[in-house]
Homo-oligomer: A and B are copies of this chain.
Amino acid sequence: MAVTFARGFRAGTAACGIKAFTTGASAIPRDQKDDLCVIHSAYPCDTGGVFTTNKVKSASVVIDQLHLQRNRVQALTINSGNANACTGAQGFRDALLMAKLSADRLDLDPDQVLVSSTGVIGRYLPMDAIKPGIAEACDGLSSDRGDAAAKAIMTTDTVPKTAHVEVDIAGTRVRVGGMSKGSGMIHPNMATMLAYITTDAAVEAGLMSGIVKSIADRSFNQVTVDGDSSTNDSFLMLANGAAGNAPIRAGSKEAEQLATAITKVAQDLARAIARDGEGATKLMTVRVRDAVSDEDARSAARAVASSSLVKTAVHGGDPNWGRIVCALGYSGAELALDRLHLTIGGLVVFERGAGIDVDLAAVRRAFEQPEIEITATLGLGDGSAEAWGCDLSEEYVRINADYTT
């Protein structure tokens, strides 16, 4: 399942001890979990990617942007435990070497391999540990190892994140599957978030890169855990054509059906990330409706979902809707207080410019559910969006106060 749900994709994994070697260990830990995976497609893929907007990009992101230009990607090699970011020229050499080692083993050219890294910033990749890991992962490629791959890319994640969906497009059954990681450092601009979606749909060259941004805008860019954007965030979409349908053209009805299926998988993976935010105990879904534009709605939803004050209130089960109104106010979205309608867990708490008398105990019960739904209807236009976040807990602080040590 996961990235191997679509036909023609196989995955392999290895346990290299990357984090241990990165932080100075001299031997691989006994209970080392898998920390490297290779995804291989039987055919070259049409591939689209979006990457971090941070001006400081990991070497792997820069290499991927380069390799995507030829658009004949056929494999991905991903490691957790070390981000290969802020590592200067050595970092680029290491990222290229990861691609080349994988390509050699899989009989591909290096630019047919994309690489991703996630973990500690500012340390060189332990290539002596990675080299045999790539060989092992390539040798173990199997269509059964999708879930194992989803585990191999985890860092502080507590659960692997996978999703899949099957759709009929013009009479052909098409499969879409994916995996993601990301728990702390998650933000609209996808901080330390990695996501990969594969499909066996046949598409005309360039379709994936044409739709990847709008899918990210409605999924991963609407997830927020703590407001930081990392150096490594990557979202890649690969279509290998194994389904055998007539290649889907940009702008067609079929392209829209495929985009809808991929968006479904992407949103499932995005929600899974929010739910697994570092120290999170609750999933928060923020819906904004009737905004001036979709973009306004996205900004407004994100602002609420990423407000530290809303997040701590949600954590504490505190019905402090004033903080939600406040976050809408600084989101940059057009807002007219006298038109705003706000519900928490289905209860109306604000309308026509002022809070209304509500049963505070009922609001409190709504906040105490494991999933909190906040809906803001702006009354200004047709724009709508969702964003997902989590509560901010004492546990988040504990995890992040002592990450490298």
Contact assessment for B86 and A312 in the assembled complex, using a CB-CB cutoff below 8 Å: no
A11 to chain B, nearest CB (A): 29
A228 and B337 contact, Cβ closer than 8 Å, known pairs A54-B330, A56-B329, A350-B86: no
Q: Using CB atoms, name the residue of chain B closest to A185.
A: B309
Contact assessment for A403 and B318 in the assembled complex, using a CB-CB cutoff below 8 Å: yes
A148 proximal to B (CB < 8 A)? no
> Which of B308, B322, B353 contacts A308 (CB under 8 A)?
B308
A405 proximal to B (CB < 8 A)? yes
Contact assessment for B86 and A308 in the assembled complex, using a CB-CB cutoff below 8 Å: no
Contact assessment for A354 and B88 in the assembled complex, using a CB-CB cutoff below 8 Å: yes
Contact assessment for A226 and B121 in the assembled complex, using a CB-CB cutoff below 8 Å: no
A267 proximal to B (CB < 8 A)? no
Contact assessment for A400 and B308 in the assembled complex, using a CB-CB cutoff below 8 Å: yes
A120 proximal to B (CB < 8 A)? yes
Residue interface bits A310-338, CB-to-B below 8 A is 1, else 0: 00110111111111011111100001011
Contact assessment for B403 and A90 in the assembled complex, using a CB-CB cutoff below 8 Å: no
Tell me the complex Cα distance, A91–B353, Å: 10
Q: How large is the interface on A (under 10, 10 to 19, 20 to 34, 35 or more residues)?
A: 35 or more
Contact assessment for A308 and B228 in the assembled complex, using a CB-CB cutoff below 8 Å: yes
Q: Using CB atoms, name the residue of chain B closest to A334.
A: B55
A392 proximal to B (CB < 8 A)? yes
Contact assessment for A320 and B404 in the assembled complex, using a CB-CB cutoff below 8 Å: yes
A53 proximal to B (CB < 8 A)? yes
Contacts of A384-402 to chain B: CB distance below 8 A: 392-394, 396-398, 400-402
Q: Using CB atoms, name the residue of chain B closest to A120.
A: B322
Contact assessment for B325 and A121 in the assembled complex, using a CB-CB cutoff below 8 Å: yes
Give chain B residues whose Cβ lies under 8 Å from the Cβ of A328: 55-56
A227 proximal to B (CB < 8 A)? yes
Q: Using CB atoms, name the residue of chain B closest to A399.
A: B312
Give chain B residues whose Cβ lies under 8 Å from the Cβ of A392: 397
Contact assessment for A394 and B398 in the assembled complex, using a CB-CB cutoff below 8 Å: yes
A75 proximal to B (CB < 8 A)? no
Tell me the complex Cα distance, A397–B318, Å: 12
Contact assessment for B401 and A326 in the assembled complex, using a CB-CB cutoff below 8 Å: no
Residue interface bits A341-369, CB-to-B below 8 A is 1, else 0: 00000000010111100000000100000
Residue interface bits A84-115, CB-to-B below 8 A is 1, else 0: 01111111000000000000000000000000
A222 proximal to B (CB < 8 A)? no
CB within 8 Å of B: which residues of A? 53-57, 83, 85-91, 120-123, 184-185, 189, 226-231, 307-309, 312-313, 315-323, 325-330, 335, 337-338, 350, 352-355, 364, 392-394, 396-398, 400-405
Task: Name the 4 nearest CB pairs between A and B, nearest first.
Answer: A316-B401, A121-B322, A56-B329, A88-B354
A-B contact pairs, 30 of them (CB 8 A): A53-B330, A54-B326, A55-B329, A57-B329, A86-B353, A87-B354, A88-B352, A120-B322, A122-B325, A122-B354, A122-B355, A184-B309, A228-B323, A229-B329, A230-B326, A231-B325, A308-B308, A313-B401, A316-B402, A317-B401, A318-B402, A318-B403, A318-B404, A319-B404, A320-B403, A320-B404, A364-B405, A392-B397, A394-B397, A396-B397
